Chain A
Amino acid sequence: MTAYPVIFYLLLAALWWLFFWAHADYRTDLLRFRIFVIRDQLFGYAAQGKIRFDDPAYVLTRQLLNGNLRFAHRLTLSNLLVLCALQQKYDPDSGGNFHARLNQALHGLELEQKKAISDIHAQLHHCMIAHVANVSPLLFPFAWPLKMAVKLHWLRTHRLTKQTRMRMEPIDAAIYDLGRQRDAYC
């Protein structure tokens, strides 16, 4: 007779494991796969001779992508909130500095090159937001309705990413710094 509550709690534990381990690992792998696709797109663009491999914009974007690949497992809502709070307190200029560095890197580029690099940054932000929404237990229930809204064209992703771009800059700055800490040439 006491079997029902035991089964219920066992199933609850299984669900907990599925969400916080199996699902989180899957989402991290999915995020990494998507970033690898974006990085290949950037590499392909440079391999076609459309941008130099040593161009500051290419190097900065590649380092940002590498940082994201390396620390994708640490991209969670709680970490982002704490990161934003710490940056507000200790390093409030980091977002602005990164923005200035990016603008400086984009300065000498042609319009088409700027568009390609900006598009890569937008794609990266879209992937990061989707990941955070899917691995957070608070945002997860809203992730699917949001995805459906985007699929049904009720929401436009480029407008969303444009709005969140300024808010993402401090996060980009932190990830870029982390990615630069051990920039393995191999």
Chain B
Amino acid sequence: MSGNGPKKKTYQQLESEIKRLKTSALLSLFEKLFPPLFKWGGFVGIAKFSADAIIALSGKATSAAIDVNASAALNPGETPNAMEACETWPFWIAAISAIIATAAVSYGLNQRRLRRMAIEHLTPFKERWERSIDPNRTSSGLLADGSTNPEDE
């Protein structure tokens, strides 16, 4: 081979490259296994505790005590029509809270969608302007809307 061909890597260079690749592969394996296990495992745990609680409480006398305590916590003070308040307050509080929470989450998700649409719309102009100044401009490799590239998941 002539001297113009690609330069051969030394033993040390190859060794260090193998070490780097080994680290990268093991890290990638950990990232693919641990976070989903932890996240979905949380849901499984919650479902299990929820099922256990339902089984333990269904038809038992203890449920009455929980109800009384919860009502008492929501209606402090001794008013003459306390029983009436117990029946109406928790329902309305829960309903309004649920509506506000759902609306807030949906607002947040819609805002995120809008922001991604704005990024997708504006990014080409910025890229073109930057490339006119630096033709060798490097990219982050993200998608046009700024979200993670599926190849990097």
Interface membership of A149, Cβ < 8 A: no
Distance in Å from the Cβ of B134 to the closest Cβ of chain A? 5
Q: When the two chains form their complex, are residues B30 and A79 in contact, meaning their CB atoms are under 8 A apart?
A: yes
Chain B residues, CB < 8 A from A53 = 134, 136
Q: When the two chains form their complex, are residues B136 and A86 in contact, meaning their CB atoms are under 8 A apart?
A: no
Q: When the two chains form their complex, are residues A174 and B23 in contact, meaning their CB atoms are under 8 A apart?
A: yes
Q: Which of B57-90 contact A (CB under 8 A)?
A: 57-58, 63-64, 66-67, 70
Distance in Å from the Cβ of A19 to the closest Cβ of chain B? 9
Interface membership of B11, Cβ < 8 A: no
Q: When the two chains form their complex, are residues A79 and B130 in contact, meaning their CB atoms are under 8 A apart?
A: no
Distance in Å from the Cβ of A56 to the closest Cβ of chain B? 14
Give the A-B pair count, Cβ closer than 8 A: 130
- Chain B contact surface mostly: helix
Chain A residues, CB < 8 A from B24 = 174, 177-178
Give chain A's interface residue range (CB within 8 Å of chain B).
35 or more
Which residue from chain B places its CB closest to the CB of A5 in the assembled complex?
B53
What's the Cα separation between A47 and B134 when bound, in Å? 8
What's the Cα separation between A54 and B115 when bound, in Å? 33
Interface membership of B92, Cβ < 8 A: no
Known contacts A2-B57, A7-B94, A9-B50; is-contact A20 B63 (Cβ 8 Å): no
A-B contact pairs, 25 of them (CB 8 A): A1-B67, A4-B67, A5-B57, A6-B50, A7-B94, A9-B46, A9-B53, A16-B46, A18-B105, A20-B39, A22-B108, A22-B109, A29-B115, A36-B140, A43-B133, A53-B136, A69-B142, A73-B153, A74-B152, A83-B27, A86-B27, A90-B23, A94-B23, A183-B138, A185-B137
